[in-house]
A and B are shown apart, each in its own frame.
Chain A
Amino acid sequence: MRDARVWSLPVQPETDFTLSSPILEARNVNLLFDSGRSTLTVLRDVSFALQPSEIASVVGPSGSGKTSLLMVLSGLERATSGSVLVDNAEIGTLSEDRLAIVRRTHFGILFQNFHLIPSMTALENVAFTLEIAHPSWSYSDIRRAAMDALAEVGLSARASHLPSALSGGEQQRVGLARAIVGDPRILLADEPTGNLDQTTGATVIELMFSLARRRGTAIVLITHDLGLAARADRTLSMNHGCLREVHTDHRVSV
């Protein structure tokens, strides 16, 4: 278990999230995997709402459905039943291509295993988000924006390096730059420090939180680390596919 003191972050002003409409919402979501012989229930009647700029953490044991929740929220996985709303719009009925557009306009995703494209340099990995989202932009504009994002995570000097030449922490910072370069309204982070040592993880988390606060980006943070989870505006717990609130400080219904 990590020491919670490592994750000391600047104190954030409390925000009343009940006053605005959620940027991301799950309503009675169920996710079942049918293997033919048996059916596995991964998410059970999950309801959840995330306000703009809110940081929510989800904790729970392995196999409890945390990553699946993140997949469903981002449209990477379709819920078996229930609905997911992004900016008050139902996304469950959208085509794959429409879902892709929702992701590029609303989401940034940070993975535990970084998932940088190994054939691309750090700069190209970050630029790739913009190449997809804004194919009509000139390359110089894309490059400039990508360089700015890399600068924000302190990796300007490593822009031309391939992922294989970067340390784990650096790779995750590139992942963070890639996630925020499109200025998303929601950042989904799937155990972003899971593959990093404590110090490096702390740096990345601090960076992520500060960038999110500065940009007003909402975050859903999946983590095993209760200390880290406690830094969020509120913490949710996932167990056997059920989501429930751990903290009650913030007035969010679960």
Chain B
Amino acid sequence: MRRSLFSLIRVALIDLRGGLQSFWILIACIAIGVATVAMVGAVGASLQSALARDGRLLLGGDIEFRLTHRAAEPAERVLFSGLGKVSEVVDFIGRAQSEGVGVLAMVRAVDNAYPHSGTVETEGEGTLEQQLAWQDGIRGVLVDPRLIDRLGTSVGARIRLGNAEFQIRGILHGVPDQVSQGVAIGFPLLMSTEGLAETNILQPGSLARYRYKIDLTDGGSAADAARLVEQSFGQAGWRISLPGDATEELSRYFALLRNFLTVVGLSALLVGGVGVAQAVSAYVTERQRSIATMKALGATRSRVILHFLTQILVLTLVGIVLGVVVGTAFTLLVLPLLGPMVGIPLTPTIDGPSILSSTAFGLLTGFLFGYLPLSRAEAMRPAQLFRSTESAAGGPGSVNLLLQPRTLLPMLGAVAGLFVVAVADTGRIEVVFWYAVGAAMALLMLRVAAHLLQGALRLLPAAPNAVIRNAIKAIYRPGSAAPAVILSLGLSIALLLLIALVESNLRHQLDPEVRVDAPDFLYMDLFADEVAAFKALAAVDDRIADFTPVPLVRASSFTINGEVPPELQEPPKDLTLYFGDEQPLTYSTDLPYGSRVMSGKWWSADYSGPPLVSVTEDLRALLDLKLDDQITFLIFGQPISARIASFRAYEWQRGGINFPYVLSPGALDEYPISYFGLITARDGTVGELQAALIAAYPELVFVPIEEAIDAVRDLMDTVASAISTVGGVALASGVLVIAGALAAGRRQREADSTVAKVLGATRLDLIASLTIEYGLVGGLAATLAVPLGVTGAWAFISLVLESTFVLDPLLLFLVVPLALLLTVGMGAALTWGALSGRPASFLRNG
């Protein structure tokens, strides 16, 4: 048995040495797909394992208690101290100023116990405590180098924050628990809590996060500590995070991104699979006489198929090894660069599971796509092989052959294997299922369309023009590359469109053109007297086109019809940037700008009855809410109930602030209200107004909307770049496959062109014929690719990201000419030898 196996492998390898050059496309297709999947998997796994492994480091302690808008009361501090060593950290958005220039800063004030673990990365003299301490009549701060650049100052210089002055003592490169801060608006700045007190920026109710990070005493359980705080101060609205919780949101984003990129990588393998099928098909065609000879010598069907399958699998393995090596090398290069970008230390490691899964993907893809063309040749009778002039692999009866158990079952096994590996890799069975359905539909649609095109052209009456007639005949004649080109080009263009549309949608979310009505500045914590002052200013200052105060109260938690909805583990997305897991509430007489009522009714302007609430459509779907449900908010420890009167849809890109919950007038009158102040500058006065506002209200913090959006845009850019990079690699695979499909028919085309020339055809005739032929094929592929790519992108944006899908008509407009250019250009390049060479030379050389 073993000897037979060795004999089989030995002969297969011997026989392979003559055909290696036919397989560079197969090897490259597998290598590209495997490298992509391996790289995405390894980077994703490294991120996830860093989040899991360094949970305590990234949280900054064993447990964190967090409050927004007030510091811990003395009794709460006593309780925390009893649990272990406490570090107090206050995060807020501030404005650093120097000589009239103001730059938004993500300020973190820390005490001397900070950090419990890890180190603050700085450039400067002395310890962190010394750098932030009072020296020579001034306290120190550490700042991000970009902040220094923006302020146009240097280390050692003085800057102002609120009412206090600080000296820049050094450069801040990062804090160990940076990730748990969330998306940063402004540049990082580190100061001491003593320094914070002197700024006088934070007042009760101000938007700041007070974090108490506790290094538990030995034997202390984080769960026990959490329970104790909940029991003692359950109504105070403390948020409790354990290691892992801090990075939960980030982990979810990474998982989402990784899943998408894995799907793109799998698409690369799918397109590559078409290349595998073409390469095997071409190889089998080339070797059909050898197959016949083997059968004539007495080789059984199984022997023939094992012989060639061994060869295909060996070549697939070569591709896999190449892919794994390239993917791993790229991963090792990328991880050290990626770490600082996401604020997580990423050690370059080789990820075994990613290598295993990408290997499995490669092997299964190679088998799945190579098996059918092999089976076609294997199923043909040897005498047919001796006679057949068309491709044995693409011969008639392929559907019947596919439906035969001995063909279908192994292929179904490979599909099931791919499905299992994909589910194991992504952990998202529904995503994999729908992707598989989509991919199968795409393959089927393109295959059937190619068949229909050939059938339709065959039925057409002969064209009066010989060039057109020849071009049309070339599409449906036996052995035509048209079906393969339509399949590979259609898939490639669909993939290109999908990636381009996803990327354009991500960027569109933050496109300044979309936010035409957005205000320019946002004051985050205004009190009633400050609102009055701004109103007065707006009345006299021509540069202010509009000032709108928006009342705001924060609820620490809420219940629906008396119960805590389990879905609340998912915080509403809209304003998590500003509020994290707090629920921001406002009231309004009028329907907010940019909103429209989808169901229920907006209250009348003079409504004064029991509290009503209007909720966004997103939350209705997320929390399964219905009209007339009672929502009870906990505000400053006091419950307030409101009946749902309407649901609203909102386009956040259009400006303003979307509050998930808008209450009826009077509902929040009993509570201390702060305001968001939205200021719109007149055209061309933004810079001037900004400087004037800083000068007029130095103690107030405002966010220039563009800067805030920039922070998110940076993040989106990183995501979009990752998608583009992976997408680009996937497309390379597509181009290779198209080249392969065209190259497969090259010999025949050269022969045809030569004969045509011998018979008197000019080069122009040949080029015209080729352009018409590939134009028809490319046009059909592109036309089919558009709905495929758009559907895929819509599914990802709408269903997975739950965002509004926007179709960029320019992309659609570009697809068809791109496809035509690609096919005609590559077709011409590959047959250039026949078009430009002398017929005699080709005829002599055969």
| B533 CB-CB contact with A under 8 Å | no
Nearest Cβ in chain A — how far from B3, in angstroms? 5
In chain B, positions 2-32 with a C-beta closer than 8 Å to chain A are 3-4, 7-8, 10-11, 14-19
| B298 CB-CB contact with A under 8 Å | yes
| Complex interface bits, A67-83 against B, C-beta within 8 A gives 1, otherwise 0 | 01001001011100000
B298 close to A103 (CB less than 8 A): yes
Pick from A96, A102, A119: contact of B14, CB under 8 Å: A119
A139 to B292, CA, bound (A): 24
B290 close to A132 (CB less than 8 A): no
| A67 and chain B: residue at smallest CB distance | B386
A135 close to B7 (CB less than 8 A): yes
Nearest Cβ in chain A — how far from B458, in angstroms? 15
Residues of B within 8 A of A136 (CB): 3-4
A132 close to B303 (CB less than 8 A): yes
B297 close to A132 (CB less than 8 A): yes
- From A5-13, A123-131, A231-239, the one touching the partner chain is A123-131
Residues of A within 8 A of B295 (CB): 76, 100, 103
Residues of A within 8 A of B297 (CB): 103-104, 109, 128-129, 132, 178
| A18 CB-CB contact with B under 8 Å | no
A105 to B386, CA, bound (A): 22
| B605 CB-CB contact with A under 8 Å | no
| A159 CB-CB contact with B under 8 Å | no
Pick from B7, B298, B381: contact of A101, CB under 8 Å: B298
Residues of B within 8 A of A109 (CB): 296-297
Residues of B within 8 A of A162 (CB): 18
Nearest Cβ in chain B — how far from A163, in angstroms? 10
Residues of A within 8 A of B302 (CB): 97
| Complex interface bits, B358-391 against A, C-beta within 8 A gives 1, otherwise 0 | 0000000000000000000000011100100000
Residues of A within 8 A of B294 (CB): 117, 128, 132
Residues of B within 8 A of A96 (CB): 300-301, 381
| B293 CB-CB contact with A under 8 Å | yes
A76 close to B300 (CB less than 8 A): no
Q: A76-B381, A119-B17 are in contact. Are A133 and B3 (CB under 8 A)?
A: no
Residues of B within 8 A of A76 (CB): 292, 295-296, 381-383, 386
Residues of B within 8 A of A138 (CB): 3
Q: A100-B300, A103-B298 are in contact. Are A131 and B18 (CB under 8 A)?
A: no
A78 to B297, CA, bound (A): 17
SS of B interface (majority): helix
| A242 CB-CB contact with B under 8 Å | no
Interface core residue of B16, B289, B296 (most chain A CB under 10 Å): B296
| Complex interface bits, B737-759 against A, C-beta within 8 A gives 1, otherwise 0 | 00000000000000000000000
A115 close to B381 (CB less than 8 A): no
Q: A132-B303, A135-B8 are in contact. Are A74 and B296 (CB under 8 A)?
A: yes
Residues of B within 8 A of A129 (CB): 297-298
A119 close to B298 (CB less than 8 A): no
B298 close to A115 (CB less than 8 A): no
Residues of B within 8 A of A202 (CB): none
Residues of A within 8 A of B381 (CB): 76-78, 96
Residues of B within 8 A of A111 (CB): 293
Q: A115-B289, A135-B8 are in contact. Are A120 and B299 (CB under 8 A)?
A: no
Interface core residue of B294, B295, B299, B302 (most chain A CB under 10 Å): B299
A76 to B4, CA, bound (A): 25
| B304 and chain A: residue at smallest CB distance | A100
Residues of A within 8 A of B303 (CB): 100, 132
A243 to B268, CA, bound (A): 58
Residues of B within 8 A of A124 (CB): 11, 14
Pick from A78, A100, A120: contact of B298, CB under 8 Å: A100
| A179 and chain B: residue at smallest CB distance | B297
Nearest Cβ in chain B — how far from A127, in angstroms? 8
A132 close to B298 (CB less than 8 A): yes
A97 close to B300 (CB less than 8 A): yes
A77 to B14, CA, bound (A): 29
B interface, how many residues as a size bin? Answer: 20 to 34
Residues of A within 8 A of B300 (CB): 96-97, 100-101
Pick from A105, A115, A119: contact of B18, CB under 8 Å: A119
B11 close to A131 (CB less than 8 A): yes
| B298 and chain A: residue at smallest CB distance | A104
Q: A128-B297, A132-B303 are in contact. Are A115 and B7 (CB under 8 A)?
A: no
A162 to B18, CA, bound (A): 10
| B17 and chain A: residue at smallest CB distance | A119
A132 to B7, CA, bound (A): 9
Nearest Cβ in chain B — how far from A240, in angstroms? 19
Nearest Cβ in chain B — how far from A22, in angstroms? 21
Q: A115-B289, A118-B290 are in contact. Are A132 and B299 (CB under 8 A)?
A: yes
A194 to B303, CA, bound (A): 31
Q: A71-B383, A136-B3 are in contact. Are A115 and B292 (CB under 8 A)?
A: yes
| Complex interface bits, A158-170 against B, C-beta within 8 A gives 1, otherwise 0 | 0000100000000
Pick from B3, B4, B19, B296: contact of A119, CB under 8 Å: B19
B15 close to A119 (CB less than 8 A): yes
A178 to B297, CA, bound (A): 9
| Complex interface bits, A178-193 against B, C-beta within 8 A gives 1, otherwise 0 | 1000100000000000
Residues of A within 8 A of B10 (CB): 131, 139
Nearest Cβ in chain B — how far from A8, in angstroms? 31
B298 close to A131 (CB less than 8 A): no
A69 to B7, CA, bound (A): 33
Nearest Cβ in chain A — how far from B388, in angstroms? 13
| Complex interface bits, B783-813 against A, C-beta within 8 A gives 1, otherwise 0 | 0000000000000000000000000000000
Pick from B4, B14, B289: contact of A120, CB under 8 Å: B14
Nearest Cβ in chain B — how far from A183, in angstroms? 13
Nearest Cβ in chain B — how far from A182, in angstroms? 8
A101 to B303, CA, bound (A): 11
A144 to B4, CA, bound (A): 18
B298 close to A105 (CB less than 8 A): yes
Nearest Cβ in chain A — how far from B107, in angstroms? 72
Nearest Cβ in chain B — how far from A125, in angstroms? 9
| A135 and chain B: residue at smallest CB distance | B4
A139 close to B298 (CB less than 8 A): no
A162 to B382, CA, bound (A): 24
Q: A135-B8, A139-B7 are in contact. Are A117 and B298 (CB under 8 A)?
A: no
B3 close to A117 (CB less than 8 A): no
| Complex interface bits, A127-162 against B, C-beta within 8 A gives 1, otherwise 0 | 011011101111100000000000000000000001
In chain B, positions 294-319 with a C-beta closer than 8 Å to chain A are 294-303
Residues of A within 8 A of B19 (CB): 119
In chain B, positions 30-65 with a C-beta closer than 8 Å to chain A are none
Residues of A within 8 A of B386 (CB): 71, 76
Nearest Cβ in chain A — how far from B380, in angstroms? 10
| B292 and chain A: residue at smallest CB distance | A115
Residues of A within 8 A of B7 (CB): 131, 135, 137, 139
A131 to B8, CA, bound (A): 8
| A106 and chain B: residue at smallest CB distance | B298
Nearest Cβ in chain A — how far from B237, in angstroms? 76
| A108 and chain B: residue at smallest CB distance | B297
A138 to B16, CA, bound (A): 21
Nearest Cβ in chain A — how far from B381, in angstroms? 7
A103 close to B14 (CB less than 8 A): no
Instruction: List 16 A–B pairs whose Cβ atoms lie within 8 Å, in order of A's numbering.
Output: A68-B383, A76-B382, A101-B298, A103-B297, A104-B297, A107-B298, A109-B296, A115-B289, A115-B296, A116-B293, A120-B18, A129-B297, A131-B10, A132-B297, A132-B299, A138-B3
Interface residues of B (CB under 8 A from A): 3-4, 7-8, 10-11, 14-19, 289-290, 292-303, 381-383, 386
Q: A76-B295, A77-B383, A182-B298 are in contact. List 19 more A-B contacts (CB 8 A).
A: A97-B302, A102-B298, A104-B297, A105-B298, A111-B293, A119-B17, A119-B18, A119-B19, A120-B14, A120-B15, A120-B18, A128-B297, A129-B297, A131-B11, A132-B298, A133-B298, A135-B7, A135-B8, A139-B7
Going nearest first, the 5 A-B pairs with the smallest beta carbon separation are A104-B298, A119-B18, A135-B4, A77-B383, A103-B298
